[in-house]
Chains A and B, each alone.
Chain A
Amino acid sequence: MRRYRFVLFRPFQFLPVLFGISIITFVLVRLIPGDPARILLGTRATPTAIANIRAQYGLDEPMWVQYLYFLKNLASGEMGKSTLYKVDTLKLIVTRIEPTLALVVAGVVLALVIAVPFAAISARRQGTAADHAIRIVSTAGIGFPSFWLGAMLIILFAVRLDWLPVSGYGERLGDKLLHLILPGLTIALSLSAVITRSLRAGMIAGLSSDVAVAARARGMPESVVFWRHVVPNALVPTVNLLAVNIGWLIGGTVVVESVFAVPGLGQLMVRGIFSRDYMVVQGVALTFAVATVLINFLADIITVALDPRVEI
């Protein structure tokens, strides 16, 4: 149990990290050229109207005062009123979090469903045609950008074959799952490429490792050697790789959500940037940061569970 003690202490380290991230996003958003009040009111707005809006949202205060307001809002569970949507940003984020979360989960699950068997086939039949084919596909998977891949999937499965909906999210669970398949697959194809390569390398090393030799020497059949000794050892580094990639993926949903018109955080972020909605942009950025930190925390817990040697 001593090895899990970090679960209690680690969250205290998140505070300074998140504090730093909040400052950086706050400042960066305000460095984007353009004025939210002007964009909100259009090109014909009078200077008085603009000044009113600026005063109403506190945009006329010095930046550090605005930051203190932001902190004060956070403490009372708010993120500041969106200039575009006219509601509190936190409420907006809460309603948009589900599609994004579902998308990421779908992407990761599909990626594992693809990667584990592919890596296993590739590693156990190293050098055969199957291995080469899988390696070519996974190299290609890393190379294709997700907006292109997403568009191709739409053309094939939604337009030509008409099996799946083109875009959107749906209302009921079954409908939602149906809508998640194509965007999830878009994420999974590039993510699984990375995982397949890492797993394959780990498995190949494992198959010729001393652990495998020892297991064979005590008469274990090859399938036991592989699934019980090689795979668990190959999973450890892959978990960390996966954590890094999921962090990157959460930011990447911006693109996939735009392609598939999924009403998630990514889409909210894009709209926020276009209308210089400072509150929304910094709120979503902070949410992404929290998610990334939490995922790495989770990966650490899984690593400790998988590898008894690890102490954090």
Chain B
Amino acid sequence: MSVQLEIAGLAVAFRDHREERPLLEDVSLSLERGEILGLVGESGSGKSLLCRTIIGLIPSRKLRVTQGSVRLDGDEILGRDMQAVRGRRIGMIFQNPTSHLDPVMTIGRQISEGLRHHKGLDDRTARAEAIALLTQVGFPDPARAVTSYAHQFSGGMRQRAMIAIALACDPEILIADEPTTALDVTVQAQILRLLMELRDRRGLSIILITHDLGVVAQTCDRIAVMRHGKVVEVGEKRALLAAPQHPYTRELIASHPSMPHPEDAVITHPHDRRPIFEIDDLDVSFPVGGGFLTGKREVRALKGVSLRIWPGETVGIVGESGSGKSTLARAMLGLTRVSAGDIAFDGNVLTKDRDKTLKHLRSDAAMVFQDPFNSLNPRLTIGQTLAEVLKTQGETRSDKIPSRIGELLDLVGLDRSFAARRPRSLSGGQCQRAGIARALAVNPRVIIADECVAALDVTIQAQIVDLFRDLTQRTGLTLVFIAHDLAIVRNLCERVIVMHHGEIVEDGPSARVFHQPERRYTAQLIAAIPDINPDRPINCGPPSTQQEYVT
């Protein structure tokens, strides 16, 4: 193999009138022809900036390249006119296809735009080429897709469209910046397979940026680990995963949710007591659209869900986006209107005796939200936020409140000095700990956590999961943990409930569900998790090419 792209001693710095701060330092990497290079690191490690620098699209005027070189086939491209290189020799796809596709231009025109510009094709030839490309990336009805708009497709199909646009002018290198992070796990597996297929068919070289070591383990040939703007370790995939040299790489590998947790003890709670939640035939529908004279449609988010949750259990609810898992959580806390069926909390039926049940729920159940920043009031310090909850609840005497705040912060592993800080000065992980402290403030018997680690980096995710495990074991808390990430649920929860299209498809002890799933859907979901072990490939089989039209 020959080296196609060579980055040597690259440094990028942020500079304004006050300071100069390095963002990339002495980055040296090479990409060989036909290989997939995985670029791994957590948010802020500089992996996206590195790729933007390669194609000369530095995101701010305050950033500049201070030294180094980038050679494409031996020719220096850094600081050159990149218009002939972008799209033509190096293509790029992004994390969020929804925001990167032009919403008011058809998919076909976005593909042919590059063809006409770079290759000088006329309209008809460009259109034919666009249809051929859409066929290649797995659109079953490319002639229709070519005149469709991005919003008419599902997230996975949008990412396929973006790949088609990036590959339109036959680039030799594809830079993929977190291409599957916004996608469901089964769709992620499809897109990753498509990338590997394209590499084989076109002899493409790919730089795959991701925060998920499982994704690189499944797809890449070599791995480069970045941290704080530096490449800390580069190596062949198997060698690097088997014998990581740098302590940070070891930490990343140990934090990966597919790694078995040492205390993966299976505790099964006796089901002889009264369930804390009893849900029977629950239906929740939302009206969609509808105006004067036009009829309303209904979307059934939950269809006849029945469920028991016993005190002290740690229950994971998993499912892909749109499966109804968040709706279920909101319904359990009385935050959404129930169309039919019953929800009982601790013997009180929410649908019958609403006020009384809500009162119980508010003092005995608490929710932890997905977005730790936006669910905390930015104007209040963490201490004020907690004090507010304690005062409203009224069980703590006002002179005891400061000491109770201290206890709560101890419980979630935050230093007591955090009571005086505002959310703005906290990291994502610290904010989520504060959010958990707020949930614990009411001394709840149940915590419902809705995707509460989805927005966090893997090492922080692992810490929060540890915190939950510790809390449930020490305090006998009941935890309902909602996540799309099955691997985290397998690590944390003793029981798992799988949801699909508003129904529960499987419910059982985690150990059983993950090893011998009874339903085909569950098996597919589990098979799609990118395992950190490269020899356990993500689900094979024919590529699923369902062209979903949303409208």
Q: A residues touching B (Cβ–Cβ < 8 Å)?
A: 9, 12-13, 209-211, 213-221, 224, 228-229, 232-233, 236, 306-309, 311-312
> Given contacts A9-B293, A13-B292, is CB(A217)–CB(B86) below 8 Å?
yes
Q: CA of A12 to CA of B527 in the docked complex: distance in angstroms?
A: 55
> Given contacts A9-B294, A12-B293, is CB(A219)–CB(B114) below 8 Å?
yes
Asked whether, in the complex, the Cβ of B117 is within 8 Å of the Cβ of A220, the reply is: yes
Asked whether, in the complex, the Cβ of B99 is within 8 Å of the Cβ of A209, the reply is: yes
Q: CA of A285 to CA of B19 in the docked complex: distance in angstroms?
A: 62
Least Cβ distance of B490 to chain A in Å? 34
Asked whether, in the complex, the Cβ of B87 is within 8 Å of the Cβ of A218, the reply is: yes
B148-168 interface with A by 8 A CB criterion: 149, 151, 162, 165-166, 168
Asked whether, in the complex, the Cβ of A210 is within 8 Å of the Cβ of B96, the reply is: yes
Asked whether, in the complex, the Cβ of B105 is within 8 Å of the Cβ of A229, the reply is: yes
Digitize B92-122: 1 where CB-to-A-CB distance is under 8 Å, 0 elsewhere: 1010100111111100000001100110000
Asked whether, in the complex, the Cβ of B94 is within 8 Å of the Cβ of A218, the reply is: no
In the assembled complex, B57 has its CB within 8 A of some CB on chain A? yes
- B151: chain A residues within 8 A (beta carbon): 308-309
- A12: chain B residues within 8 A (beta carbon): 293
B40-62 interface with A by 8 A CB criterion: 55, 57, 59
Contacts A214-B102, A219-B84 known; 16 new A-B pairs at CB < 8 A: A13-B293, A210-B96, A210-B100, A211-B103, A214-B101, A217-B86, A217-B87, A218-B86, A218-B91, A218-B113, A219-B82, A219-B83, A219-B87, A306-B104, A308-B104, A312-B291
Asked whether, in the complex, the Cβ of A232 is within 8 Å of the Cβ of B105, the reply is: yes
Asked whether, in the complex, the Cβ of A216 is within 8 Å of the Cβ of B103, the reply is: no
Q: CA of A105 to CA of B92 in the docked complex: distance in angstroms?
A: 45
In the assembled complex, B270 has its CB within 8 A of some CB on chain A? no
Q: CA of A174 to CA of B192 in the docked complex: distance in angstroms?
A: 66
Asked whether, in the complex, the Cβ of B289 is within 8 Å of the Cβ of A221, the reply is: no
Q: CA of A216 to CA of B52 in the docked complex: distance in angstroms?
A: 11
- B55: chain A residues within 8 A (beta carbon): 217
Asked whether, in the complex, the Cβ of B86 is within 8 Å of the Cβ of A219, the reply is: yes
- A228: chain B residues within 8 A (beta carbon): 105, 113
Cβ 8 A contact of A307, one of B82, B104, B169: B104
Asked whether, in the complex, the Cβ of A213 is within 8 Å of the Cβ of B100, the reply is: yes
A interface, by DSSP: helix, strand, loop or mixed? helix
B83's closest neighbor in chain A, by CB? A219
Asked whether, in the complex, the Cβ of A214 is within 8 Å of the Cβ of B86, the reply is: no
Asked whether, in the complex, the Cβ of B114 is within 8 Å of the Cβ of A218, the reply is: yes
Cβ 8 A contact of B57, one of A217, A306, A311: A217
The contact sample of 13 A-B pairs, CB cut-off 8 A, is A9-B293, A13-B292, A211-B103, A214-B162, A217-B87, A219-B83, A219-B86, A220-B87, A232-B102, A306-B104, A308-B149, A309-B151, A311-B289
In the assembled complex, B85 has its CB within 8 A of some CB on chain A? yes
Asked whether, in the complex, the Cβ of A217 is within 8 Å of the Cβ of B83, the reply is: no
Least Cβ distance of A231 to chain B in Å? 10
5 A-B pairs with the lowest CB-CB distances in the bound complex, closest first: A219-B87, A218-B87, A219-B86, A210-B99, A214-B100
- B85: chain A residues within 8 A (beta carbon): 219
- A211: chain B residues within 8 A (beta carbon): 99-103
Q: CA of A13 to CA of B294 in the docked complex: distance in angstroms?
A: 12
Q: CA of A97 to CA of B149 in the docked complex: distance in angstroms?
A: 41
Cβ 8 A contact of B113, one of A220, A233, A307: A220
Asked whether, in the complex, the Cβ of A233 is within 8 Å of the Cβ of B103, the reply is: yes
Asked whether, in the complex, the Cβ of B102 is within 8 Å of the Cβ of A218, the reply is: no
- B113: chain A residues within 8 A (beta carbon): 215, 218, 220, 224, 228
- B165: chain A residues within 8 A (beta carbon): 214, 218
- A216: chain B residues within 8 A (beta carbon): 57, 86
- A209: chain B residues within 8 A (beta carbon): 99
Asked whether, in the complex, the Cβ of A215 is within 8 Å of the Cβ of B102, the reply is: yes
Q: CA of A214 to CA of B177 in the docked complex: distance in angstroms?
A: 12
Q: CA of A308 to CA of B294 in the docked complex: distance in angstroms?
A: 20
- A221: chain B residues within 8 A (beta carbon): 83, 117
- A210: chain B residues within 8 A (beta carbon): 94, 96, 99-100
B165-215 interface with A by 8 A CB criterion: 165-166, 168-169
Give the residue among A13, A209, A224, A309 with the most B Cβ atoms within 10 A.
A309
Least Cβ distance of B395 to chain A in Å? 48
Q: CA of A276 to CA of B100 in the docked complex: distance in angstroms?
A: 60
> Given contacts A219-B114, A220-B117, A311-B289, is CB(A236)–CB(B104) below 8 Å?
yes
Asked whether, in the complex, the Cβ of A218 is within 8 Å of the Cβ of B105, the reply is: no
Least Cβ distance of A86 to chain B in Å? 42
- B105: chain A residues within 8 A (beta carbon): 228-229, 232
Least Cβ distance of A310 to chain B in Å? 10
Least Cβ distance of B102 to chain A in Å? 5
A9's closest neighbor in chain B, by CB? B293
In the assembled complex, B495 has its CB within 8 A of some CB on chain A? no
In the assembled complex, B88 has its CB within 8 A of some CB on chain A? yes
Q: CA of A58 to CA of B272 in the docked complex: distance in angstroms?
A: 86
> Given contacts A9-B294, A219-B114, is CB(A232)–CB(B57) below 8 Å?
no
